[in-house]
Amino acid sequence: MATKISAALQAHLRELRYEPTTKRIRAYLGTVLVLDSRSAVIMWEPRRVVPCYAVPATDVDAVLSTASPASLDAAAPPPLLHPGIPFSRHSTPGTSLDVSAGGATAVGGAFELEDAELAGYVAFDSGAFTWREEDDVVISHPRDPFHRVDIRHSSRRVKVTSGEQVLAESPAPLVVFETNLVERIYLPVDDVNWDALTPTDSSTLCPYKGVASYWRLAGGPDDDVAWSYQAPLPEAGELAGYVCFYDHLVDVAEL
């Protein structure tokens, strides 16, 4: 019987998963190097979709001490299948650790695993440290080696409206196809009605595309309705100069 690959991967979501990487991985607490490894793995705890790095404890150059129970979210329910779950809510056996170096401490910033396959490995909070793969800075969290972002030029004619107001219309969008996510249609900035939009202070990080800036409807509610990667990562460079709209907040229609 044929196997759908995405279904096979989904079937393992409730398990502790990992994939070795040959990249040199380094992490800094402030300006102090706390780990340097050529034996790192990209790791997902059970029920998590966002990975983190785990490295052998022998590659760590920091003080690791058992985290105080008061600093942990032990009373919270187990992590759910959601990218926003904090690192401190673990779903596999192990010991939460504080990481101290250079006079600073990342409380609960590491987790020593009790899995036989990963014996001796310690996982680290992506958000508590500055990371480098080789010499390049890692944004947000490690990239999933099984995750793709394909950007394609399209001749679909797309019109974006809010009620009777036209927010954008273009015959030359980019369509972004990203693993396990809905396709997104990005429109050239010159085809956007900027009088209808107001910039907000919102900002998000994507390890595949970069830093996103946001807009809301001018004179409307505070909800962000559009975003753009104004200086995208090199791999997503084509998105510079394009804007995408949330199709659950405004009407994005193909004509």
pLDDT at 185: 98
Shared-domain flag, residues 89 and 165:
no
Structural domains counted in the chain: 2
pLDDT at 73: 52
Shared-domain flag, residues 114 and 159:
no
Domain region containing 127: 5-137
Decide if 144 is inside a domain: no
Shared-domain flag, residues 62 and 11:
yes
pLDDT at 76: 54
Shared-domain flag, residues 107 and 165:
no
Q: Which amino acid is residue 229, in one-letter code?
A: Y
Structure-token pair, residue 245: 């709209």
pLDDT at 80: 57
pLDDT at 133: 98
pLDDT at 68: 80
Shared-domain flag, residues 113 and 160:
no
SS3 78: coil
**Listed residues 76, 105, 137: the one ending a domain:** 137
Shared-domain flag, residues 123 and 174:
no
Query: Average pLDDT of each block of 10 consecutive residues along the chain (255 residues)?
Result: 92 95 98 98 94 98 88 52 78 95 97 96 97 97 96 98 97 96 97 98 96 95 96 96 97 96
pLDDT at 178: 97
Distance of alpha carbon 102 from alpha carbon 190, whole angstroms: 49
SS3 98: strand
Shared-domain flag, residues 21 and 132:
yes
Contacts from 75-78 at CB under 8 Å and sequence distance 24+? 78/47
Please list, in sequence order, all residues whose beta carbon lies within 8 angstroms of the beta carbon of residue 184, skipping any fewer than 6 positions away. Answer: 175, 176, 178, 244
pLDDT at 54: 98
